[in-house]
Amino acid sequence: MKLKLLVTLFLFTNITLLAQEKKFFVGMNIGVKFANKHYAKRHTGSYQQELSTLLSNQQIHQQLYQLLDNQDFEFYEYNDNFKYTPAINYGVLIGYAVTPNLQANIDANFSQPKVQTNYTIRLFDPGNQTSQDQYKVGNIIGKEGRFNGKFNLDYIFDGDKVRFIIGVQGLFLSWRMEELIFEMADEKWIYNSYSAHNVTNNITKKTSGSGWGYGVNLGLEFRLNKKFVGQLMYQPYLSRIEYFNTKSQIESVGSNYVGVSNRLEHDLTFRILWK
């Protein structure tokens, strides 16, 4: 987080030099990202049956068996009700006024969407004291880092105090897993399935990816003072991010392979521009 803030501050400090030209402008973005729940699946433990395989590991199984008061168990199911929580989205931009009404800009934005879901195990009653199936629920917590690089082309309509904005955007997107934690037995068992310091993570499973997207910009512009204007933007876009599939995995699936689809995501952004 500190590194991203330093990079953001460095970029903003340097590109302000370009604002000396009247047609150039610089700014900062702050807002909220609403990420598509489809991509949250990578934080559920279901990819390559990661969680169920982990719980069948003899050492892990024995450890959890003892924490469950010597009750044996088996993995039962994943929770299909998963999604990202809205994430703070921030960054910087540099732009050029093509005409008084048409502006082009490039911005770089960072965010850290989080996922919180759960899973269920089935308990075996050693004393056969009940005929009812017994279950226990564990929690899953995931976090990832996102980078969005956008090229925006916006038309700003004439107006007195408020000016309407309509435009288009093209995006480069990348993601990286930051955290994936499995919990059970009232947090007595906590397993960190991913650590940035463990180099084997990138070998054993997919922990990062990239892709492209396109969308539209809708917003309002209003002047804050003589030097700064504010722009409140709604920016929906379709993203096509490399998900899990590597070349070897695609070949193993063969004709059953389903390609990456475009997924709708949303940014609600407030821009502060020096122009």
Domains of the chain: 2-274 (2.40.160.20)
What is the spatial distance between Cα 194 and Cα 24, in angstroms, rounded to a whole number?
43
Q: What is the pLDDT of residues 120-142, one digit of tens each?
A: 999 987 666 666 778 999 999 99
Alpha helices (runs of H) in the chain, residue ranges in sequence order: 2-15, 50-55, 58-67, 201-204, 247-253
Say what the pLDDT of residue 76 is.
Answer: 93
Better-predicted residue by pLDDT, 30 or 7:
30
Say what the pLDDT of residue 238 is.
Answer: 95
Does residue 94 have a pLDDT over 90? yes
- Confidence class for position 185, pLDDT limits 50, 70, 90: confident
Rounded mean pLDDT, 234-259: 66
Say what the pLDDT of residue 211 is.
Answer: 87
What is the spatial distance between Cα 164 and Cα 59, in angstroms, rounded to a whole number?
62
- Confidence class for position 50, pLDDT limits 50, 70, 90: confident
Better-predicted residue by pLDDT, 24 or 216:
216
- Confidence class for position 48, pLDDT limits 50, 70, 90: confident
- Confidence class for position 177, pLDDT limits 50, 70, 90: confident
What is the spatial distance between Cα 52 and Cα 184, in angstroms, rounded to a whole number?
13
Amino acid at 6: L
Does residue 33 have a pLDDT over 90? yes
The share of the chain scoring above pLDDT 90, in percent, equals 54
Bridge partners, 150 (sequence order): 107, 171
User: Rounded to two decimals, what is the model's pTM?
Assistant: 0.81
CA atoms within 13 A on the CB side of 100: 4
